[in-house]
Amino acid sequence: MTIGNITTVERVTRLNSIQELLNEGKSPNEIAEEIGMDVRAVKRNIKYLEEISVADITPEDRGKRRAELYAELVEASDEAKEMFQYYKAEDKAMSAKSFFTSWLETISLRMKLFGLDNQKPDSVNLTQINNSFGPEPDKISMRAGEKIANLIKLEHEKRVSVDG
């Protein structure tokens, strides 16, 4: 298979050469001169090498990054929850709803982080919960919303503790 005017093997060889020269601390101009390539082509290949390195992380690195993201999401979740509770106590429904939504979004992001976003909950039947509040489930009381949030959070924490 060829890419442009060179074969895949030639391209990989070129990429390896560029990476070696980068590791030696050479600039794109120096690399271009040494390999006999156009500087713009060298810069495109350097960008390609950077994209490959991002995509090729080890499971250990992925785990560390997940742990960092999880810690940040927990912090954001706690702050959103705190603000929700503050505005709820102040009886400022619109602000409370905004922070409640943010809180739920952080929970959703944490679920995605661990691949739980595409699994159906085992112990909570969301259809049943929605139907139990009547024809307009989006107009529920703050107390009912808090109960739902607690159920979702509890279910997520159970799954995380089992998986982790």
Residue 2 has pLDDT above 70, yes or no: no
Confidence bin at 118 (pLDDT 50/70/90): low
E-strand stretches of 19-162 = none
User: Per residue in 23-64, pLDDT tens?
Assistant: 999 999 999 999 999 999 999 999 888 877 766 667 777 778
Domains of the chain in sequence order? 2-55 (1.10.10), 59-163 (no CATH)
User: Per residue in 131-144, pLDDT tens?
Assistant: 544 445 456 677 87
pTM of the model: 0.40
Residue 97 has pLDDT above 80, yes or no: yes
Q: Which helix (H) or strand (E) holds 2?
A: strand 2-3
> CA nearest 31: which of 44, 23, 39, 15?
39
**67 Cβ neighbours under 8 A, 6+ residues apart:** none
Rounded average pLDDT over 64-86: 87
Rounded average pLDDT over 112-123: 65
Enumerate the β-bridge partners of residue 3. 6
Distance, CA of 39 to CA of 33 (rounded, Å): 8
Residue with tokens 């992925």: 62
Coil, helix or strand for 134? coil
Rounded average pLDDT over 63-87: 87
Rounded average pLDDT over 86-115: 87
Distance, CA of 81 to CA of 84 (rounded, Å): 5
Q: Which helix (H) or strand (E) holds 6?
A: strand 6-7
Distance, CA of 123 to CA of 76 (rounded, Å): 26
